[in-house]
Amino acid sequence: MQKYDYLIVGAGLFGCVFAHEATKQGKKCLVVDKRTHVGGNVYCENIDGINVHKYGAHIFHTNDKAIWDYVNQFAEFNNYINSPISLSKGKLYNLPFNMNTFYQLWGTKTPEEAKTIIESQIKQFGVKTPKNLEEQALSLIGKDVYETLIKEYTEKQWGKKATDLPSFIIKRLPVRYTFNNNYFNDTYQGIPIGGYNKIIDGLLKDIDVKTNVDFFEEKEELSALANKIVYTGKIDEFYNYKFGNLEYRSLRFENIRLDTDNYQGNAVVNYNDATVPYTRIIEHKHFEFGKQKHTVITKEFSEKWTQEKEAYYPINNDDNQNKYQQYRALSIQEDNIIFGGRLAEYKYYDMHQIIASALQKSKQELS
């Protein structure tokens, strides 16, 4: 008899939630991760008393009360509201696109004035069924917002022309005719006080964990330890890239400690212009309203992905989706392997969606 019911490959949110739920049902789990720490991309590194979101800024938001209650079991959340600023051609603009942004762009003071401009620009463009991100943006918000706040940021972020990107990416951004700078429309939002590691530690309490373990280097020995595998890594790697590589976008982070208590006055400042090499600067202390005399900022550079780099964003265009479907067809035939999470499902997931998916898959598996 095997020692474990489940071998969980990857200690990110999907793997940790699955392990937690399975353990609650009396199952024995072993969680392995190739990094030196658990938590996947929500891991925070404490630098000089500041929780630095090491793999990119994570702001928790959800409309689902059950998901909100779930994460609140493990950590208390503060009342942080994400209100990013964008710098474009020397001027600052509020995001998401709202009455403040429209005032900064055109001096419009009422919703009617702003709507008149936006609707005339949408009409001028005249496309009813957008086929790509550029067409989606132009038919949603018009030329001025697109050219000032979307085009260059998006092309820098994805390393592709906006005309070669899927339209769903831009649907993430709300458009509002109120003076409301909240980036998200969700009812619940915040940052766990003390960082995301508290949630991960709570999820993995009393569960066997091994870090520094590369699943593919010890596949046979590890697989023999458990009845079933929960795999959260890259699905194309699992099948040895037999249908070819799935494409990702990678990121590079440059952390800088500064002897100032407040560098940019906001947690997130986006840099729209193509001439600036990074997409945004994160000042981590503002996520937790830090009072330190110093600060840590991170410049985020978007990079071409290669196999030795971290895979951050799946590039869900048609070519990649078709390839993914071939891998998925294999994965659903597996009796003893459960695939889940951003890399195994090749999906641009937010944290709350990953948790919902892990809860649903674990329920299905364990019932």
Distance CA 248, CA 315 (A): 5
The question of whether 249 is a catalytic residue gets the answer: yes
Instruction: Report if residue 60 touches ligand UDP, rule: CB under 6 A.
Output: no
| Interface residue with ligand UDP, options 117, 173, 175, 225 (CB under 6 A) | 173
Lay out the site mask for ligand UDP across 88-117 (x = CB under 6 A, - = otherwise).
-------x----------------------
Nearer to ligand UDP, 231 or 271 (CB): 271
List the one residue from 17, 170, 311, 315 that touches ligand UDP (CB under 6 A).
Answer: 170
Nearer to ligand UDP among residue 173 and residue 366 (C-beta): 173
Binding of residue 305 to ligand UDP (CB under 6 A): no
Q: How far apart are CB 212 and ligand UDP at their closest, in Å?
A: 28
Q: Which of 176, 273, 328, 365 is catalytic?
A: 176
How far apart CA 277 and CA 302 sit, in angstroms, is 8
Question: Judged by CB under 6 A, does residue 167 bind ligand UDP?
Answer: no
Q: Where does residue 92 fall: left (phi above 0), alpha (psi -120 to 50 degrees), or beta otherwise?
A: beta
C-alpha distances out from residue 110 to 74, 122, 140, 188, 271, Å: 43, 19, 19, 28, 27
Please list the alpha-helical segments (H only) found in 142-248: 143-145, 151-158, 168-171, 197-203, 219-223, 235-238
Residue 176 is among the residues annotated as catalytic for this protein: yes
| Of 309, 263, 315, 303, residue with least CA distance to 279 | 303
Phi, psi of 173 (to 5 degrees): -90, 125
* Start-to-end Cα distance in the chain: 22
172 a catalytic residue:
yes
42 or 169: CB nearest ligand UDP: 169
Please enumerate, as own/partner, the contacts of 213-222 that have beta carbons within 8 Å and a separation of 24 or more. Answer: 213/32, 213/33, 213/34, 214/34, 215/9, 215/32, 215/34, 222/7, 222/9, 222/32
Footprint on residues 61-90 left by ligand UDP (CB under 6 A): 86
Q: How far is the CB of 215 from ligand UDP (least distance, A)?
A: 26
* Residue from 172, 252, 257, 319 carrying the catalytic annotation: 172
Interface with ligand UDP (CB under 6 A), residue from 100, 132, 157, 295:
157
- Quick one: tokens of 296? 């840590």
Residues serving a catalytic function are: 172, 176, 249, 280, 300, 348, 350
What residues line the site for ligand UDP (CB under 6 A)?
A: 86, 95, 149-150, 153-154, 157, 169-170, 172-173, 270, 272
